[in-house]
Amino acid sequence: MSVVVAQEKKPLIRFDIKKCAFCKICELSCSKYHYKKFGDSISRITIIRKGPLMFKCHICTRCEKRFCITACPTKALSYKGGNIVVDPKLCNSCGDCVKACPFHGIKLHPETKLPIICDLCDGDPSCVKDCPKGALTLVWLPEVRK
């Protein structure tokens, strides 16, 4: 059973499947914000479509279990200020974090091979800002710890 031990809030980018139009503008906004280039391989959010009405949003959920941190063999990942942070000096680009994340919220950057994970764009997520349908919203939830 979970018990709230800390009242710190954690961020979540909430996805509204009913509103999402599968335009992928969020992916292009994400890559533009972080790299000043457009490309889905360097986007930290991915929208998947399966069937006419089934859409999924792949992004870091700041989950309780921190599967990625646990999976990392070199302790390159940590949770700071609401984000999973990568220490490039420790990371060996093994990709274990990518495989461990059940939310498909991590990719390896095709060139640097370092994990890329949603960092909320310094608090004002560009995917949320640019979504033309209002399908993405930034919410703050109570941090839950066992």
Partner 1 sequence: MKYSGYKGKVLAINLTTKKTNTIDVTDEFARKYIGGNGFAVRYLFDMVDPRMDAFDVTNVVAMMTGPFQGINLPTAGKYYMATKSPLTNGYFDSVSGGFIGAQIKYAGYDGFLITGKADKPTYLFVEDGKVEFRSAERLWGKLTGETQEMIKEEVGDPDLCVSAIGPAGENLVRYACVITEYRAAGRGGVGAVLGSKKLKAIAVRGSGTNEVADPEAYEAWMQWYKEEAKKVPGIAVGLPTYGTPALVASIGKMLGAMGSYNHQTEFFQNWENISGERLKKEFWDKDTACPACPIACSKVFSAKSGKWKGAISEGPEYETIYSLGSMCGIDDLGAIIKGDSLCDEWGMDTVTYGVMLSFLMEAYEKGLITKENTDGVEFKFGNDDAMIAYIEKTAKREGIGNLMAEGSLRAARIIGGGSERFAIQVKGLEIPGHSARALRGMALGYSTATRGGSHHDPRPTGEYAGASDRKAVEGKAAWVIGTQQMTTIGDSLVNCHFLERLLGFTLTQKWVDMINPVTGFGYTLEELTTVAERILDLERAFNVRTGIRRKDDTLPRRFLEEPIPEGPSQGMYTDEPTLNKMLDDFYALKGWDPKTGVPTREKLVRMGLEDVADCLNKSGISC
- Residue with Cβ nearer partner 1 (69 or 121): 121
- Residue with Cβ nearer partner 1 (23 or 63): 23
- Residue with Cβ nearer partner 1 (111 or 122): 111
If one asks whether residue 32 binds partner 1 (CB under 8 A), the answer comes out as: yes
Instruction: Build a one-symbol-per-residue string for 117-146: x at contacts with partner 1 by CB under 8 A, - elsewhere.
Output: -------------x-xx-------------
79 contacts: CB under 8 Å, gap ≥ 6: 62, 66, 69, 85
If one asks whether residue 113 binds partner 1 (CB under 8 A), the answer comes out as: no
87-125 burial, b for 16+ CB within 10 Å, e for fewer? Answer: eeeebeebebbbebbeeebbbbeeeeeebbbbbbbeeeb
Torsion over CA: 103, 121, 65, 5 (sign): negative
- Residue with Cβ nearer partner 1 (9 or 113): 113
Q: Per the structure block, which two tokens stand in for 16? A: 């509204």
Closest residue by Cα to residue 128 from 113, 142, 140, 114: 140
Judged by CB under 8 A, the residue of 1, 7, 18, 146 near partner 1 is 18
If one asks whether residue 21 binds partner 1 (CB under 8 A), the answer comes out as: yes
Q: Per the structure block, which two tokens stand in for 83? A: 């984000």
Judged by CB under 8 A, the residue of 10, 11, 33, 46 near partner 1 is 46
Beta bridge partners of 85: 78
Judged by CB under 8 A, the residue of 5, 6, 39, 124 near partner 1 is 39
